Every structure is written in C-alpha cells, then in structure tokens.
Chain A
Amino acid sequence: MTDLLPLIVAKYNYWLYVILMMIGLYAMIAKNNLIKKLVGMNIFQTAIILFYVSIGYKTDATIPIIQNAHGGQGAHSAVIHAADYINPLPHVLMLTAIVVSVATFGVAMALAVRIYQRYQTLEEDELRMRLADIGLEE
C-alpha cells in the first residue's frame, strides 16, 4: 500500500483515463438501452483522447508557439529549448481521432434511428422479443 499510493498520485492521469475507459466499457457491455451504449462508446473513445492529450504535457512548459518567429522585433533573439514547449503532436493526432469518433458516433446514431423506425424500441431485450415475434431470431 505504501508503494501504491505514490504510484497513483504520480501518474494520476493514467489512472483517470483507465477509470473512464472502464466506465465506458461497462456501459457498452451492461446497459440495455442502445443510446446508453452509444454514450458508453463515446466515453470510451474520449478516455483515449484524454490519455493522448496528457502525454504531450511537460511541467513548466507553454504552448508551442514561438514568439515573433516570422520576423519582427526580437526574432531569433533567444535560443529555443524544446523543453520549454509542450509536445503538440499528440494533440494534433487527437484532432483526427476526434473527427473519427464524431463520424462513428454519427453513423451509430443514424443506425439507432433506423432501428427505432423499424421496431419502435431501443431496448435490447425488447428488440430481441420483436425479432423473435417475426421469426427472425435464430
């Protein structure tokens, strides 16, 4: 226990993303309502986005914009240290991942609408009953 606590405190960002991810996974597996499952899916994806965002962070660093880099006063006056700036690459990657997750969410919502139009329900157990009623359940 004495070892575990510092470990959790020092790497709390990892623990947070793992907990969020598990919440999402739980919702996707255990919830009966399709929309709740979709929300779980979104939490799951967001947890990974948070993980990526947190790994770009450095202590005492600022956003990666170099002042007056394109000329003007004080251009190239100081030496640039990479350690003074946070790593922007994971954040940029996550812009793409956000687009992917929004697209997935959109497709999934559209599918949910189609299911609702056809069966008038979004509860999984009721869906199974409807399918059995019309002889489609195997």
Chain B
Amino acid sequence: MDNTPALIVIAPLLAALLAGLAVWIEERLSYLIALTGLAISTFSAVKVLMQVIDSGTIQYRMAGWAPPMGIEYRIDLLNAMVLLLVASIAFLNLLASYKSVDQETNDRPGSFYTIYLLFVTGLLGVTATGDLFNLYVLIEITSLTSYAMVALGDRDRGPLASLNYVFIGVIGASFYLLGVGYLYLKTGSLNMVDVANILSGIHGSSTVLVAFILCMIGIWIKMALFPMHVWLPNAYTYSPVAFARIVAPLMTKVMVYVMIRLMITVFGFDYVFETLNLADAVVWLATIAVLAGGVMALSQKNLKKMLTYIIVCEIGYMVGGAWMGNQLGMTGAILHILNDALMTFALFLAVGNMVYRLKKVDLPDLQGLFGKMPWTMAGFVLAAFSIIGVPPTCGFFSKWYLILGAFEAGAYHFAAALIISSLICAVLFFKVFEICFFDPMSEGHGHGDSHSHVTIEEAPVSMLIVSGLVSLSLIVAGLYSGTIVNTIILPFLK
C-alpha cells in the first residue's frame, strides 16, 4: 500500500516531536528539522495531487483497518488541492520566518517551531481525513496550538485575546461535536461516505436537520463568519507575526473547506438545497458579512487589524458562493479558497517584513515606506490589487465566478455586496498607499536630529524572496485559473 497520503500528515507530526527535543542539543537544529518535515509534507502533497489528477480518488486506510470501522483518509481533487496549499504555504512561511521568530519569541524559538508544526499537522489532518470524529479531534489540535501561539505574541494583550479565543473556539468545536453526535445517533457511522449513503434514505428526519444546523454553526464559529467573528481580529493581531502569516491565510480557509466537504460529501447537494430552505437566509448572512467586514476594516488604525477584518469580509464571499446552490457559485467559492489563501499570505508576508523593521504597524508608522522598503511594498501592492480584484491577479477570477453564480441564482444583493466591498477594499488600500508614499517626517522639520530617527531599511533577503515569490504566484494563479478550474474544480463537482 502506498503510504504517501499518511506521510503528508505524519511528517510534520514527527518533526514536531523531534524539533521539541532538538532544542536541548542545538537551537538551530529544531529549525532545520521543522523545515525538513514540511518539505517532506509538501513533496508528498504534490505527489498525491498528481496521483489524484491521474487516477482519481485515493482511499487510504489508517493502519489497514477497513472503513467504516477504521479511520479513512479520503483524498479527492478538492482535498488534494487544499493539502498542497496548506503544506506549501506552511513551508514557505517557515523559510521566511527564521529571523522574525528569533526576534519575537526571544528565548523560546524551539517551542515556537514545535507548536507551529503541530498546528500544520492539525490543518493537514482536517483536510485529509474522511472521518467525522477524527475531524473534530484534528480541529481541536489546530485550535489548541493556535491558542498557545496567540499567547506567545503581544505580552500585554496576547493572553487576554487568546483566552477569549478559547471560550469561543470551545463553543464552536462543541457544537460541531454535538452535531456529529446526532449524526451518529441516526446513522451509527462516522465515516463520511458511509454516513452520506445512509442519510440519502432519511432526508426528512428532524434529527438530521438538527445535526446539520449544529455542525454548520460550529464550523461557522470556527471560520469567523460575521457575526461570529469577534474572536478573530484580536487573536490574529496580537499573535507573533510569523504565526499570523500562516493562521490568517489557512485556518479560516480550511474551515471553509470543511463546510464545503460537509455540504457536498456528507449531507449532499440534494439535501442542502432541495430538502432544506436555508440557502437564501445563509446567502443574506454572507452578504451582511461581506459588507460588515469591509466597513469594520475601514475604521481600523492598525494595519494588521485592518487586514484581519478583510479576512472576515472574504469569508463572506466564500460562504455566499458555496450556498448559491449552483455550479458557478461553488466553483467560485473553491477557487477563492486557493486564491484568498495566496493573497492573504502575500499581504501578511509584506506586513511581516514591515513589523520586522518597524516593530508596530499603526497606519501613521507607515509613512515613507515606499522609499525605504520598495520590494516589500511592491509585494504589498500586488497582493492588495488581488484583494481588490484587478484583472491579471487571481482575486479577479474567483470574484468573477462568484458574481456569475450570484446572477444565475438571482442573488443580486450578494453580487452588489461583492462589488461594493471591492470598492471599499480599493479605498482602504489606496489610503494605505497614500500614507506609505508621502514622508512628511523626514524633510519637513528636520532639526538635525537624524541620529535619533531610526533608519528603516529593506527586510532581510530570505523574507523578501519568499514575499516576491508568493506575490508573483498571484499573477501565475490568475493566468492559470482556467486550467485550475478545468482540471480540479469542475471534475470534482461533476
């Protein structure tokens, strides 16, 4: 039996163990172990994706136990894409993080790498698994590690933000667990495909309805769909930047993946859109989320916090697209998982570079950055254009599918919200560009105190290379979005 699917998840898990131990020998070693683990994981993910495109869904039996009794990793086109996305972003971020981890977690880089790897293990497991209860456990692994990470960040506000995140995270996970309980009660199985087969005969059952609603609410809390988003901005703003860079693009996107997986594989399209009459209400909720996220982002004074509200807005896009009930909307939502992860990653990489030099990123601190950090700002501008949805970048294409889907479903309010929020994002980012462009401090009233003024220079090369690479990938993903849709998303939805 080919063990590559398991290797994706197990490599970072073992690396986490070794990285924790290696600290006692040599601190640098734990970084190298983490890098190796994620490289193996990324490589396996590429291999699995190729395999899935060639020969269809892979069913991997953990320890050889046959489903539905055993735990199964079921990797189809959708998982394979998200797995590669998670593994490669985690790997690239680690490449860029060496210096900023040293700077931010002063005495404990070893524990940072261990928690980081466990977090990635959790995300990869959530994506790969085909078992509902296994999914819960892995969601909790991701959440527990991110609680710890947030607390490693800002010394004053980190622990408090983290504790609030714990309270809400526990409620979310518990709702999901309860939903799984009801599903088990009705079907006697935990394997996703097995549950789906049994459910197809009992669509009218109110137990199934309760299970569906509980699962959805749990996942929505975890993905920070407005108005369940309150934990996200503080938690992401006050975490160490090396962690913010990975949690912001990945955590919420993986939860969107879980929602789509539950909707398509477990409950089934017929159940969600024909038996239930919830789609309209959810699309309205998503519309409000898109608008509210944009407006709240507009009122922020800290760049990092502003971007976290943009995540809230983007979640609205994906939820709305997925609940549109047609193929175009679902295509847009899935494509947006990929694109949004890439562009949020590119944005946070640029912000990470700024934080590395500036220490804090309130908007007034950014003055004159175009002159001082031109490469970082180039990456930032490209990512911002992608969020706004300027054509050659990938953000445009997924928005295009989402808008087409909205028109087909007659959800004009959602299409309108999409366009308005794109405008809000444009206003937002041009405001930031304007601040970064002008530099009244340096010339205006210089009393010869240039030595007291900290000179800002460009970020380290390792961080710049990754940032540049990811920003370029936004254009590449944009140009190849037709290929992605035709080889991955449409065959999956068939």
B151 within 8 A of A: yes
Expressed in whole angstroms, the minimum distance between the Cβ of B82 and any Cβ of chain A is 23
User: CB-defined interface of A11-30 with B at 8 Å, one 1/0 digit per residue?
Assistant: 00000000000000100100
> Is the CB–CB distance between A51 and B181 below 8 Å?
yes
B185: contacting residue among A55, A104, A112, A131, CB under 8 A: A55
CB neighbours (8 Å) of B173 from chain A are 100
Main secondary structure of the interface of B (DSSP, over half): helix
> Is the CB–CB distance between B147 and A100 below 8 Å?
no
B159 within 8 A of A: yes
Count of A-B residue pairs with CB < 8 Å? 73
> Is the CB–CB distance between A107 and B147 below 8 Å?
yes
> Is the CB–CB distance between A44 and B160 below 8 Å?
no
> Is the CB–CB distance between B157 and A111 below 8 Å?
no
User: At the interface with chain A, which of B2-10, B162-170, B193-201, B438-446?
Assistant: B162-170
Decide yes or no: A114 and B159 within 8 Å by CB, A48-B174, A48-B178 being known contacts: yes
> Is the CB–CB distance between A44 and B171 below 8 Å?
yes
> Is the CB–CB distance between A115 and B144 below 8 Å?
no
A134 within 8 A of B: yes
A44: contacting residue among B166, B170, B184, CB under 8 A: B170
Expressed in whole angstroms, the minimum distance between the Cβ of A58 and any Cβ of chain B is 13
User: CB-defined interface of A47-67 with B at 8 Å, one 1/0 digit per residue?
Assistant: 010011001000000000000
Expressed in whole angstroms, the minimum distance between the Cβ of A46 and any Cβ of chain B is 10
B449 within 8 A of A: no
CB neighbours (8 Å) of A134 from chain B are 156
Give the CA-CA distance A89 to B70 in the complex, in Å: 12
B479 within 8 A of A: no
User: At the interface with chain B, which of A1-9, A73-81, A90-98?
Assistant: A90-98
Expressed in whole angstroms, the minimum distance between the Cβ of B163 and any Cβ of chain A is 5
A34: contacting residue among B151, B157, B163, B170, CB under 8 A: B163
Expressed in whole angstroms, the minimum distance between the Cβ of B452 and any Cβ of chain A is 23
> Is the CB–CB distance between A136 and B166 below 8 Å?
no
Give the CA-CA distance A107 to B141 in the complex, in Å: 12
B148 within 8 A of A: yes
> Is the CB–CB distance between A45 and B155 below 8 Å?
no
User: CB-defined interface of B342-363 with A at 8 Å, one 1/0 digit per residue?
Assistant: 0000000000000000000000
> Is the CB–CB distance between B159 and A118 below 8 Å?
yes
> Is the CB–CB distance between B167 and A37 below 8 Å?
yes
CB neighbours (8 Å) of A115 from chain B are 159-160, 163
> Is the CB–CB distance between A28 and B167 below 8 Å?
yes
Expressed in whole angstroms, the minimum distance between the Cβ of B30 and any Cβ of chain A is 21
Expressed in whole angstroms, the minimum distance between the Cβ of B230 and any Cβ of chain A is 12
> Is the CB–CB distance between A55 and B174 below 8 Å?
no
> Is the CB–CB distance between A41 and B167 below 8 Å?
yes
Give the CA-CA distance A67 to B163 in the complex, in Å: 48
B243 within 8 A of A: no
Decide yes or no: A108 and B185 within 8 Å by CB, A134-B156, A136-B157 being known contacts: no
CB neighbours (8 Å) of B317 from chain A are none
CB neighbours (8 Å) of A25 from chain B are 171
CB neighbours (8 Å) of B178 from chain A are 48, 51
Decide yes or no: A104 and B177 within 8 Å by CB, A55-B185, A115-B163, A118-B155 being known contacts: no
Having A111-B163, A118-B155, one finds 18 other A-B pairs with CB under 8 Å, namely: A34-B163, A41-B167, A44-B170, A44-B171, A48-B174, A52-B181, A97-B177, A100-B140, A100-B173, A104-B166, A104-B170, A107-B166, A114-B151, A115-B159, A118-B156, A134-B156, A136-B156, A136-B157
* 28 CB-based A-B contacts, threshold 8 Å: A34-B163, A37-B167, A41-B166, A41-B167, A44-B171, A44-B174, A48-B174, A48-B177, A48-B181, A51-B178, A55-B181, A96-B137, A97-B136, A97-B177, A104-B143, A104-B147, A104-B170, A108-B163, A108-B166, A111-B151, A111-B162, A112-B163, A114-B151, A115-B159, A115-B160, A118-B159, A131-B157, A136-B157
| Nearest 7 pairs of A and B residues by beta carbon | A114-B159, A111-B163, A100-B140, A108-B166, A111-B159, A115-B159, A107-B147
